[in-house]
Chain A
């Protein structure tokens, strides 16, 4: 299994709602990532989990709350979002190969989030 899956594919929420995005991988990867991508812009890193611990937080507002329940799962909890948070949210996973580099990231298809 060489796939990163994300659910839901699309999500529409109001500014007062609480919702969660889910990401799953079964490749045995020990790092997982959340990115945000606006239209016609490159992905922007939000969070990195390494061995189930939050290792990088790119100064993301607290209305985004990541969670890594186990090595295969990554969640992004959303609360009190703003319309400008509407974007494609991408999850990725990676694992360094023994004896060499290439901590290559594998991306999921993303969740298209619309905040009304």
Chain B
């Protein structure tokens, strides 16, 4: 399983864009990159997933360079409610149900007023 490395924490201010970069140097050909958000005492919540280039949804964008050895989660115009831990996961999630995904250390994002 590809190991991921993320910054331990990041501070930001309301209205700013937050970019969190995840390193996954030994990502395999069939691996996808998935990001989850977790608030205290809640289960992780799926944010976005991608394989290459750029993926955008209503809450975030995911940028993946051509070599796929890293990825960047971009949260536009954050608010106080975006204060959470963000996890980057890399793994092969194709095929049969029940794939093993390993959570990395996560990045604690604190949004200040």
**Chain A's interface: helix, strand, loop or mixed, by majority?**
strand
Q: Say yes or no: A107 contacts B43, CB within 8 Å.
A: yes
A16 interface residue per 8 A CB criterion? no
A98 to chain B, nearest CB (A): 12
Size of the chain B interface, CB-CB below 8 angstroms: 25
Q: For B45, what are the chain A residues with a Cβ–Cβ distance below 8 Å?
A: 107
Q: Say yes or no: A50 contacts B96, CB within 8 Å.
A: yes
How far, in angstroms, from A109 to B43 measured CA to CA in the complex? Answer: 5
Q: Say yes or no: A30 contacts B106, CB within 8 Å.
A: no
Size of the chain A interface, CB-CB below 8 angstroms: 33
Q: Say yes or no: B94 contacts A101, CB within 8 Å.
A: yes
Q: For B93, what are the chain A residues with a Cβ–Cβ distance below 8 Å?
A: 96, 101-104
Which residue in chain A gives the minimum CB-CB distance to B103? A42
Known: A42-B87, A45-B102, A102-B49. A51 touches B97 (CB 8 A): yes
Residue in contact with A4 in the complex, picked from B32, B43, B100, CB distance below 8 Å: B43
Q: Say yes or no: B101 contacts A50, CB within 8 Å.
A: no
Q: Mark A77-116, 1 if CB is under 8 A from B, else 0.
A: 0000000000010111011100001111111111010000
How far, in angstroms, from A109 to B42 measured CA to CA in the complex? Answer: 5
A76 interface residue per 8 A CB criterion? no
B101 to chain A, nearest CB (A): 7
A31 interface residue per 8 A CB criterion? yes
Q: Looking at A105, A106, A107, which has the most chain B CB atoms within 10 Å of its CB?
A: A105
Interface residues of B (CB under 8 A from A): 32, 34, 41-46, 49, 51, 87, 93-106
Interface residues of A (CB under 8 A from B): 4, 29-31, 33, 42-45, 48-51, 55-56, 88, 90-92, 94-96, 101-110, 112
Known A45-B101, A102-B49, A109-B43; 12 more pairs at CB < 8 Å: A49-B98, A50-B96, A51-B97, A56-B98, A56-B100, A103-B93, A103-B97, A104-B46, A105-B44, A108-B43, A110-B43, A112-B41
List of 4 A-B pairs having minimum Cβ-Cβ separation, nearest first: A107-B43, A50-B98, A31-B97, A31-B98
